[in-house]
Structure 1
Amino acid sequence: MNPTIKDVAQKANVSIATVSRVLNNLTGYSDKTKQKVNQAIKELGYQPNAIARGLINKRTQTIGVMFPKVSSAFSSDLLHGIDEFAHDSNYSVVVCNTDNDGKRTMKYLQLLREKQVDGIIFSSEVLSKEYYEVLKNMKIPVVLVSSQTDFAKVPYVKVDDYQAVYDAIQFLISKGHRKIAMISGTKGDPLAGTPRVQGYRKALEASGIAFDSSRLVYGDFSFESGSRAMEAILRKAGEATAVFAACDEMAIGALSAALKHGLNVPEDISIMGYDDLKPAQMVTPPLTTVRQPLYEMGKIASEKLIRMIETGEIAANKIIAHSIVERQTVRTLT
């Protein structure tokens, strides 16, 4: 016969109400009591009934997470942070792959509604009015990560993309580079496209360097598009001494294209990325890049969402500090 909550209470020498409070992550007990209850649960092999708990606290202890590309290293790092905090808070995570153009977003919003998730983390996609109306009707909290919105009740966690790219270009300029090309993400993308291009142009302007449209090429944040964009830069702006790519995957694609053309990095051309994904450390030579702390961003977004679920209070927006990680793909011009 399976152990019950009553068995746990008896073994831990506490009331059933106290066990329930521990299981539902509520307050009103000491750390020592929590340890006793958890030890009793472990020794008895007790499995809480999620449906019964949901009836008590009106929650499923589940959050939904929506990514446009679940398989990417970028999404993986964010998800690691999200899941870590959710797990520690006794929440489960349902992950949805909305696809790059968001064509599955409405489908997955309906799925998450049917699963009665307690809240949603919405990542790397514009929160359109259409999506917002659906979420508002679901009456659950939403937090954006690596995204931004003007909707008052939807907090976000992200880096300042404009400032991060401005600092990256200033870094290249400080190394003596003045002919700097950029591989941007999707043209017109208001999240990671336009602000990063604006940072690039403003940094050039601040150093008295004229903007050259032949040195700005657009990709789609993929390795393949980075390789294609680098080919275009070598054709149209072959005199460029440095290339900044708006994500590490495109930067690694650019590195691959440069090597195919017999160019040595950084001796013949310098390449810099954005994100500081694990592959940036693994390529040869290791990639100099702008770091946005994705694991920490995911963890903060998860923390904000769960706090909103449990308190009903709207969390504040959070701009996360970026940094430049110098490795071996940028050289100093003499």
Structure 2
Amino acid sequence: MRDVAKRAGVSPATVSRYFHGKNVVTTETSKRIEKAVRELSYKPVYKQKNPGVIAVLIPNLKLAYFSEVLKNFLDAVPKYGCRMIFIPVVGQDESYKQYFKELDITGVIYLEENTNQDMLNYIAAKSIKMVMFGAISEDQRCKMIHINDLAAAHEGARYLLELKHERILIISDYPKSISSGFQRIAGCKRAFEEYGLEFDADRVKYGELTYNSGYRITTQALQQGISFTAVFAFSDEAALGVISALAERGLRVPEDVSVMGFDGISLSRQVTPKLTTIRQPIKKMIEQTLDTFQNQKREENIEITLPYKLEEGETCILNQKILKE
């Protein structure tokens, strides 16, 4: 840096500002620095455009999955040299517009398929890059980064069916259009069809996929006399609520009822028994998302599907009633 500064007739601080993309370096000074770099046969160091601010639209922080995703975003941000803000999405509230007026927002990440359409139209009108994180979007103006939810749920249901669990209680969020919940239920249906079994819609229950929801739905199913030997909850958090509800009724996991979760959040590895779950590659999904905003070129909106993993824990075993028979 000192050699370049001396050759260009400027201070080392000016060269530093140039290399870090600060706009306080004049065009004439920039040319002198570039000429010095060439004459000294140094490897060119290109200026990086200020990445600005990336806004994350926050849906429902009651879900542990979203909290873990946000934590991982914060951990990854320093590597990319960008700033990040979190904007709560509450109904028809339009306070988000103030953020876009006051801040240099260059990218938007949204975590919920059913984000307010007026908000998405407002953002798109500003030609800001958008990424749908963790789901499929009907909005063709954004990039989508997610797993194949249909295939993941299909594999999870097949896993339970192979363990001879034909009566499976399924706990899902409310399916809408092409949402994750819709895809996962479709995957479970396909697994039952492949085994030549009838898919019982009465064993599919809906809620917010929180701990309380998993606990409540399981308790109600037991009170209503619904028969099941396994539970497939579409979130790890809900699966933990299921386990608590079963324990209160004197039912053991996995001896009496097998339980499978979804997402693979850190909590799933910290409980006893360790939860069997479908693990989403959250960190890899975050890297792909943030890489999108590093690319200054205008790219076509694309869909990136990353691999999931069925992670065997200690909460699923062969149906004990089959063993006894």
- TM-score range, shorter-chain basis? 0.7 to 0.9
Partner of 1:68: 59
Q: Give distance in 1, aligned partners of 2:131 and 2:92.
A: 19
1:313 equivalent to 2:311? Answer no
Q: Give distance in 2, aligned partners of 1:257 and 1:240.
A: 14
| Secondary structure, aligned partner of 2:199 | coil
Structure 1: which amino acid aligns with 2:213?
Answer: S
Deviates more, 1:73-82 or 1:151-160: 73-82
What is the aligned counterpart of 1:171 among 152, 159, 170?
159
Say if 1:105 and 1:176 are closer, same or farther in 2 by CA, change over 3 A.
Answer: farther
| Secondary structure, aligned partner of 1:232 | helix
Q: Give distance in 1, aligned partners of 2:14 and 2:141.
A: 37
Segments of structure 1 that go 5 or more residues without pairing to the other structure are 1-5, 35-52
| Secondary structure, aligned partner of 2:95 | helix
Say if 1:16 and 1:68 are closer, same or farther in 2 by CA, change over 3 A.
Answer: same
| Secondary structure, aligned partner of 1:303 | helix
Kept after mapping to 1: 8 A contact 2:62/2:210: no
Quote the offset at 1:60 in angstroms. Answer: 6.5
1:87 equivalent to 2:78? Answer yes
Q: Give distance in 2, aligned partners of 1:219 and 1:97.
A: 21
Say if 1:303 and 1:237 are closer, same or farther in 2 by CA, change over 3 A.
Answer: farther
Larger Rg: 2
Kept after mapping to 1: 8 A contact 2:136/2:178: no
Quote the offset at 1:80 in angstroms. Answer: 3.9
1:196 equivalent to 2:194? Answer no
Deviates more, 1:193-202 or 1:229-238: 229-238
Partner of 1:117: 105
Quote the offset at 1:88 in angstroms. Answer: 1.6
TM-score, normalising length from structure 1? Answer: 0.79
| Secondary structure, aligned partner of 2:108 | strand
Quote the offset at 1:67 in angstroms. Answer: 1.8
Partner of 1:3: none
Deviates more, 1:288-297 or 1:148-157: 148-157
Structure 2 counterparts to residues 233-272 of structure 1, below 5 A: 233-236=221-224, 238-272=226-260
Structure 2: which amino acid aligns with 1:75?
Answer: F
| Secondary structure, aligned partner of 2:277 | strand
Say if 1:231 and 1:72 are closer, same or farther in 2 by CA, change over 3 A.
Answer: closer
Partner of 1:180: 168
Partner of 2:27: none
What is the aligned counterpart of 2:87 among 96, 118, 127?
96
Q: Give distance in 1, aligned partners of 2:191 and 2:93.
A: 36
Q: Aligned residues: percent identity?
A: 25
1:152 equivalent to 2:140? Answer yes
1:331 equivalent to 2:322? Answer no
Partner of 1:77: 68
Quote the offset at 1:63 in angstroms. Answer: 0.9
Matched positions, count = 300
Q: Give distance in 2, aligned partners of 1:317 and 1:113.
A: 29
Q: Give distance in 2, aligned partners of 1:198 and 1:268.
A: 27
Say if 1:220 and 1:71 are closer, same or farther in 2 by CA, change over 3 A.
Answer: closer
Structure 2: which amino acid aligns with 1:268?
Answer: D
Q: Deviations over 1:297-329 (max 9, x none)?
A: 12211111332xx22334532011111011111
Q: Give distance in 1, aligned partners of 2:140 and 2:146.
A: 16
Deviates more, 1:111-120 or 1:140-149: 111-120
Structure 2: which amino acid aligns with 1:118?
Answer: T
Quote the offset at 1:144 in angstroms. Answer: 1.1
Q: Deviations over 1:174-203 (max 9, x none)?
A: 112111110111243642221111112221
TM-score, normalising length from structure 2? Answer: 0.81
Kept after mapping to 2: 8 A contact 1:227/1:257: yes
Q: Give distance in 2, aligned partners of 1:60 and 1:301.
A: 14
Structure 2: which amino acid aligns with 1:148?
Answer: I
Q: Give distance in 2, aligned partners of 1:159 and 1:31.
A: 43
Deviates more, 1:120-129 or 1:261-270: 120-129
